[in-house]
Structure 1
Amino acid sequence: MGETAHHHHGPPPPQQAAPPPQPPPPNFALSRGPTWPPAEQLQHLHYCIHSNPFWPEAVLLAFEHYIVMLGTTLLIASTLVPRMGGDSGDKARVIQSLLFMSGINTLLQTFLGTRLPTVMGASFAFYLPVLSIINDNTDKNFSNEHDRFVYNMRTIQGSLIVSSFVNIILGFSKAWGNFTRLFSPVTIVPVVCVVGLGLFLRGFPLLANCVELGLPMLILLVLSQQSTGTFYAASRLAGATPPPAHVLSRSIGLHGIGMLLEGIFGSVVGTTASVENVGLLGLTGIGSRRVIQISTAFMIFFSIFGKFGAFFASIPLPIFGAIYCIVLGIVAAVGISFTQFVNNNSTRNHYVLGVSLFLGISVSEYFVLNTNGNGDGPVRTGGGWFNNIFNTIFSSAPTMAMIVGTILDNTLDARHTRNERGIPWWVPFQHRKGDIRNEEFYSYPLRIHQLIPTRFL
């Protein structure tokens, strides 16, 4: 019994050693540092588009905008009026006309156009066409230089009046708004960037040489493209969403009406959205619409009372050049910020952005460097009008970037890369009621929309 109850057990199996403790998995989030989600609106502004600073601060900021836009006005008048045969008195009157029409057009745009805080200032876009008109009249005989100036001025006025209908038709037919629906954040990046970078000849060379002239940039159709890029930058720096297509259409239409008035009142060039003043929005962090509207009072006042304006007109041009070095760089940086809405790891987007930026700057620079003092560029055929149009188009960095970017972005596998291009984010802002904020930022005040047919809004 005892033997049957006895059970023989072998030696216990050896105990396995416990695995060594594993280090905790690395925290990749900490190693990357903090991240920021895309922001449809800038959040760290002191005042956005529909918030207003106190009146003393608003008046001071408005005066700053007047000083910034004054530099371009002085440079254009000082360059063109002597070529037209005018004297110092003629130049003073031209400056007064430019300031007055800048104030009127700025009021039109801030009340009825885009309603963005953008100053409409004298534009180098018209330099090449005006220079062509002056050269065509060089061989004509005049009794004195004043008669030559009057003849050139009347010719320029007639050209502005006739050509204004191009923008009026583009705007109120909604053709320009339909064209902007082809844009995406990928296209906007190079356009806004070169709006700032393409004007570098108005920055550092002006700072160094005082009398250096910036490049002749855009003709009338091309002018719409530069203004469009400036409006996108202004919306960003004012804390607003991108302007919808119908807003861009009505702004271009009003731009044409403003150009018609400029021809009537005797401006030597038309106006466009001032890139320098948009950069000042970013520099001050104040995107208030009211500030820009107050600045028009300075423009109109100093245009009527020339003695006061002459004091500020004596500011040395290198000071304006130093300002441009800063504000134009801010505008270029705003263009880069639109990349947050696209796939930055897509080689397809890299290709579109890189080629658009490179060709936009390099092609325009080639045409600028090969344009002589008479306005003759690389395109030289028997038709002077043909030469002027194509030399002006290819001399424009924003236009080249917009053409190349739009073509590439809408042809290179566009249908299958909608998410990479940022289209789902972009589309709601292109329609009137696509986003509730569209009406908040861009609707008319005081029920003006009830007095204007919807097709013109």
Structure 2
Amino acid sequence: MSLEMDESTSSTKEKPKFHQRPFIKAKDTPPLGIALLYGFQQVMVCVSALLTVPLIMADSLCAGQDIAKLRQTLISSTFVSSGISTIIQTMFGMRLALLQGTAFAYVPSVQGFMSQPENACNATDKDYVPQEVYYGKLALLQGCLIASSFVPMLIGATGIVGKLTKLIGPLTVSPLMMLLAFSQVKTMVDRMALHWVAVVQGVALFATILYLADVQVPIPGLKNGKFHWYRMNIFGQYPVFSTTLFNYGTFQYLFAIITSWLFCVVLTVFNLVSKDSAARVDRNTSVEVIKHSNWVEVPYPGKFGAPQFNAGLALLFLLSAMTSVFESIGDYHSAARVSGERPPPSHAVNRGILSEGMGSLVSGLLGPGVGMTTHTENIGVIGITRVASRWTMVVAGLFLIVLGIVTKVGAILSTIPDPLVGGVLASSMAMVVGVAVSNLQTVIFEDGFSKNLFEFQVDMTSSRNMGIFGFAMMFGLIVPEYFTRYPVSLGVGWLDQTLNVLLRMQMFVGALCACILDNTVGGATREQRGLQERGKVHAGSLNECTYSYHPVIMRVLNKIPYIHYVPIMPKDKKSKNKVDDVENSMKMPTSSSDDTHVRM
């Protein structure tokens, strides 16, 4: 009797079993409704990141009272370029669900170049600036971006990227990314200091991220024809699948932007702030831009004039492009991991880098003025939604193209006040710092809700690695400050300009220092430096056809002589030994009670 009671008592205390949705893999074709839903979700995740760069670029181009119009133009062209680049990457490049967006690594290059005395902006948002002046600056950015975009395409098409990754590891990339974020502190403070409304945005952001992320809000609805209360985690950054219902979470960053933006609308409509306040949404003729902008307008090459060229700016863009390349390689492996695929083979990585170069070329032709890269936050969505189909990302790309062509959308988004732009930038840079730290010690949550898999990329207990990281960070802060106070003056105009811009860029100085030290200082193995084979640390399918093209296309390509020698072409023959190595590396303890720790 007592035994039966114990059993019944224990059974009542058992937690309900977790029912996971089927995982939709990269090569699967989901129903149209699922593809539309998750494609739109991916767009919502990246909106705040896509807005940051064009809003900052518009300020750097010094458009005066036309800044709202320029913002609308850059936002629209950014959406179109991002959509086209996403489709190219998904269908031709890596063939995984990867969303392409503006690369923030280009922003310090633009700011450094535009801060030179000959390019400095002395106009305010109330001054008239001829259109040909800021269009000319944008044409210069386009020309240099077009020139620099051929370098990623070249290293991708030739397979050189594999050689470069042997020299540049996490100890180089992490200081680079952290210094990239630190270099934007002044910009963030300058914008957020314009009005206290930035505090409202900060409160909304921290409230949703830290305090409301796990709160489930009751939402009325119907279930089986009857009234029912659904409990939804609407403040979660990504959708959450609970044990009782299918929840669609909204997104913290987007929620904070919308909340604070609507607050600014209220302040403007009821005239609670002065007419010249930075918190108003009707400044800089923004309302006139909304009224007079076309409903539909397609970006086209040559809109801002013939592309111009400057050797110094092209070199800066080249450095920014290489920064994005090495960051994207890590994103490719992360995407393969969360998608349940085998580690990406070399031909897929080569095509991915080639596709990013093509995306930057599209961006240079259409107008944003900065290159394209893989957005890390969208990879995290895949692990939680369990939808890795490339078709959902194609849908996301189409959504972005439509949003860019409907220019009224860009006109409305251009009304975001400057203090909120500073907040958006701050939240984006917070994510960059987080990714930089994770490059040194990464924690991966398998499928988003089950056991944890810990991956240690760099041995930060080593005094050698700690010293390199510390010296790189300090050099990246001290050297640019020195040359800001004491500029280089060799008497050669173009050389002085180039050196001053380079030596004042924190991310360039820090990354260069880290790369030299990491490759010349002994005392650590490649594994301790974080240069181990990334593909061996996560489990996935060994079926390489995910990274190949449709069988019909492959049969046509295989008939071309010597096509297999091209570095971007999928290979039919696979080394059994390599497959066995990956299979052995994927053998992990099956105990569900303990977390699995992998020490690299």
Pick the TM interval, shorter chain: 0.5 to 0.7
Partner of residue 90, structure 1: 70
Aligned pairs (5 A) from 1:288-437? 288-311=389-412, 318=423, 329=434, 333=438, 336-337=442-443, 350-351=462-463, 354-355=466-467, 358=470, 364=476, 370=481, 380=488, 382=490, 383-392=496-505, 394-395=507-508, 411-412=522-523, 414=525, 437=542
Secondary structure at 1:121 match in 2:
strand
Does the 8 A contact of 2:88 with 2:355 survive in 1? Answer: yes
What is the CA distance between 1:228 and its match in structure 2? 1.8
Does the 8 A contact of 1:47 with 1:287 survive in 2? Answer: yes
Match of 2:324 among 207, 216, 223: 223
Deviations 1:357-397 (A, max 9, x none): 555656556678x499xxx5998564222343454473587
What is the CA distance between 1:271 and its match in structure 2? 1.2
CA distance in 2 between partners of 1:240 and 1:267 (Å): 33
Q: Structure 1 or 2: larger helix share? A: 1
What is the CA distance between 1:157 and its match in structure 2? 1.3
Partner of residue 147, structure 1: 132
Partner of residue 277, structure 1: 378
Partner of residue 114, structure 2: 134
Q: Work out whether 1:442 is the aligned partner of 2:547.
A: yes
Does the 8 A contact of 1:133 with 1:155 survive in 2? Answer: no
Does the 8 A contact of 2:29 with 2:389 survive in 1? Answer: yes
Does the 8 A contact of 1:276 with 1:324 survive in 2? Answer: no
| RMSD (Å) for aligned C-alpha atoms | 4.7
Q: Work out whether 1:261 is the aligned partner of 2:362.
A: yes
Deviations 1:300-348 (A, max 9, x none): 001101124545666765478668867975885586148957799x89x
Secondary structure at 1:126 match in 2:
helix
CA distance in 1 between partners of 2:40 and 2:485 (Å): 38
Secondary structure at 2:119 match in 1:
coil
Secondary structure at 1:437 match in 2:
coil
Deviations 1:218-266 (A, max 9, x none): 6222221222222233222322333233322222222222222222222
Partner of residue 75, structure 1: 52
CA distance in 1 between partners of 2:369 and 2:331 (Å): 22
CA distance in 2 between partners of 1:367 and 1:447 (Å): 56
Partner of residue 170, structure 1: 155
Partner of residue 145, structure 2: 160
CA distance in 1 between partners of 2:83 and 2:322 (Å): 23
CA pair 132-67 structure 1, distance change in 2 beyond 3 A: same
CA pair 405-49 structure 1, distance change in 2 beyond 3 A: farther
Deviations 1:48-97 (A, max 9, x none): 43446543343233223223322233222222213313321122111111
Does the 8 A contact of 2:101 with 2:373 survive in 1? Answer: yes
Q: Work out whether 1:113 is the aligned partner of 2:88.
A: no
What is the CA distance between 1:152 and its match in structure 2? 0.4
CA pair 141-194 structure 1, distance change in 2 beyond 3 A: closer
Secondary structure at 2:101 match in 1:
strand
What amino acid is the match of 2:141? I
What is the CA distance between 1:295 and its match in structure 2? 0.8
Match of 2:105 among 107, 125, 129: 125
Count residues in correspondence: 393
What is the CA distance between 1:437 and its match in structure 2? 2.3
- Of 442-451 and 262-271, deviating more is 442-451
**TM-score, normalised with respect to structure 1:** 0.67
Q: Work out whether 1:103 is the aligned partner of 2:88.
A: no
What amino acid is the match of 1:99? F
- Of 168-177 and 293-302, deviating more is 168-177
Does the 8 A contact of 2:83 with 2:400 survive in 1? Answer: yes
Does the 8 A contact of 1:207 with 1:322 survive in 2? Answer: no
CA distance in 2 between partners of 1:178 and 1:172 (Å): 13
What is the CA distance between 1:194 and its match in structure 2? 6.9
What amino acid is the match of 2:497? G
CA distance in 1 between partners of 2:82 and 2:377 (Å): 14
CA distance in 2 between partners of 1:395 and 1:327 (Å): 16
Unaligned runs of 5+ in 1: 1-42, 430-434
What amino acid is the match of 2:321? L
CA pair 343-272 structure 1, distance change in 2 beyond 3 A: closer
Partner of residue 40, structure 2: 63
What amino acid is the match of 2:542? R
Secondary structure at 1:219 match in 2:
helix
